[in-house]
Structure 1
Amino acid sequence: MLTFPNNFLWGSAASAPQTEGHSLLNGKSLTTWDKWFELNPEKFNEKQGPKDTSNVYEFYADDIKRMKEIGMNSYRTSISWARLLPDGKTLNKEAVAFYRDYFEKLNESGVKPIINLFHFDMPWWLMEKGGWEASESVTAFAFYAKTAFEEFGDLVEEWTTFNEPLVHIECGYLYGFHYPAIVDFKKAIQVGYHTLMAHVLSVKAFKEIKAKGRIGIILNVTPTYARSDSNEDQQAKKAADLLVIKSFLDPCVLGTIPNELIELLKEHDLIPVTKTGDKENIEMYPVDFIGINYYQPMRVKAPENPVKPAVTTTDLFASYDWPDKRINPYRGWEIYPEALYDVAMMMKNEYHNIPWFVSENGMGVAEEERFMDESGMIQDDYRIDFMKEHLTQLHRGIDEGSNCFGYHTWTFVDCWSWLNGYRNRYGFYRVDLENNFERTLKKSGIWFKELSQNNGF
Structure 2
Amino acid sequence: MPRSLPQDFLFGAATAAYQIEGAAFEDGRTSSIWDAFARIPGAVLGGDTGDVACDHYHRYREDVGVMRGLGLQAYRFSTSWSRVRPDGGAPNPAGLDFYRRLVDELLENGIVPWLTLYHWDMPQALEERGGWTSRDTVDRFVEYALTVHDALGDRVRDWTTLNEPWCSSFLSYTAGVHAPGRYSVEDGLLAAHHLLLAHGRTVQELRSRDADLSLGITLNLTVADAADPDDPADRDAARRIDGQFNRWFLDPVFRGEYPADIVRDIAAVDADAVAHWQAAIRPGDLDTIRTPLDALGVNYYHGELLSGHPQGDGTEGTPHDGVQERRAASPFPADGGVHWVERGLPRTGMDWEVQPEGLTRLLTRVASDYADGVPIYVTENGAAYDDVVVDGRVHDVERSAFVRDHVAAVADAIEQGADVRGYFAWSLLDNYEWSWGYGKRFGIVRVDYDTQERTVKDSGLEYARIIAARAV
- TM-score, normalized by length of structure 1? 0.92
Match of 1:281 among 288, 293, 310: 288
Match of 1:360 among 369, 372, 380: 380
Q: Deviations over 1:342-375 (max 9, x none)?
A: 1121122101152111111111012x12xx333x
1:232 corresponds to: 233
2:332 corresponds to: 313
Distance in 1 between residues matched to 2:107 and 2:234, nearest whole Å: 49
2:445 corresponds to: 429
- Secondary structure (helix, strand or coil) at the match of 2:199 reads helix
Matched, 1:185 2:205: no
Distance in 2 between residues matched to 1:382 and 1:357, nearest whole Å: 24
- CA 1:198–1:68: 2 relative to 1, 3 Å: same
Identify the range of structure 1 (170-179 vs 134-143) with the bigger mean alpha-carbon deviation. Answer: 170-179
Matched, 1:373 2:394: no
2:318 corresponds to: none
Contact 1:251-1:286 within 8 A present in 2 as well:
no
- Could you tell me which amino acid in structure 1 is paired with residue 306 of structure 2? V
Give 5+ residue unaligned stretches, structure 1.
305-309
Deviation at 1:39, TM superposition (A): 4.2
Identify the range of structure 1 (18-27 vs 262-271) with the bigger mean alpha-carbon deviation. Answer: 262-271
1:302 corresponds to: 308
- CA 1:71–1:19: 2 relative to 1, 3 Å: same
1:345 corresponds to: 364
Q: Deviations over 1:3-44 (max 9, x none)?
A: 10122111111100001110111100101111223443x543
Q: Deviations over 1:157-206 (max 9, x none)?
A: 11101111111222222222123323221221111111111111111111
Q: Deviations over 1:273-331 (max 9, x none)?
A: 11232133234x12211111111112332377xxxxx9973643555333323142521
- Secondary structure (helix, strand or coil) at the match of 1:388 reads helix
- Secondary structure (helix, strand or coil) at the match of 1:238 reads helix
Distance in 1 between residues matched to 2:192 and 2:351, nearest whole Å: 26
- Secondary structure (helix, strand or coil) at the match of 1:87 reads helix
Identify the range of structure 1 (259-268 vs 200-209) with the bigger mean alpha-carbon deviation. Answer: 259-268
- Secondary structure (helix, strand or coil) at the match of 1:313 reads coil
Identify the range of structure 1 (251-260 vs 96-105) with the bigger mean alpha-carbon deviation. Answer: 251-260
Distance in 2 between residues matched to 1:396 and 1:312, nearest whole Å: 32
Runs of 4+ aligned residues of structure 1 deviating over 6 Å after TM superposition are none
- Could you tell me which amino acid in structure 2 is paired with residue 113 of structure 1? P
Matches within 5 A, 1:326-345: 326-345=345-364
- CA 1:281–1:321: 2 relative to 1, 3 Å: closer
Distance in 1 between residues matched to 2:383 and 2:334, nearest whole Å: 31
Match of 1:409 among 425, 430, 434: 425
Distance in 2 between residues matched to 1:89 and 1:338, nearest whole Å: 45
Matches within 5 A, 1:10-409: 10-40=11-41, 42-210=42-210, 212-228=212-228, 229-265=230-266, 269=271, 270-271=274-275, 272=277, 273-283=280-290, 285-302=291-308, 313=332, 315-351=334-370, 352-366=372-386, 368-369=387-388, 372-374=389-391, 376-409=392-425
Contact 1:347-1:354 within 8 A present in 2 as well:
no
Identify the range of structure 1 (322-331 vs 258-267) with the bigger mean alpha-carbon deviation. Answer: 258-267
Aligned residues: 445
Q: Deviations over 1:75-131 (max 9, x none)?
A: 101000010001323111011111011011111211111100111112111011111
1:307 corresponds to: none
Contact 1:48-1:422 within 8 A present in 2 as well:
yes
Contact 1:153-1:211 within 8 A present in 2 as well:
no
- Secondary structure (helix, strand or coil) at the match of 2:150 reads helix
Distance in 2 between residues matched to 1:231 and 1:184, nearest whole Å: 30
- Secondary structure (helix, strand or coil) at the match of 2:122 reads coil
Deviation at 1:422, TM superposition (A): 1.6
Give 5+ residue unaligned stretches, structure 2.
311-328
Distance in 2 between residues matched to 1:108 and 1:51, nearest whole Å: 29
- TM-score, normalized by length of structure 2? 0.89
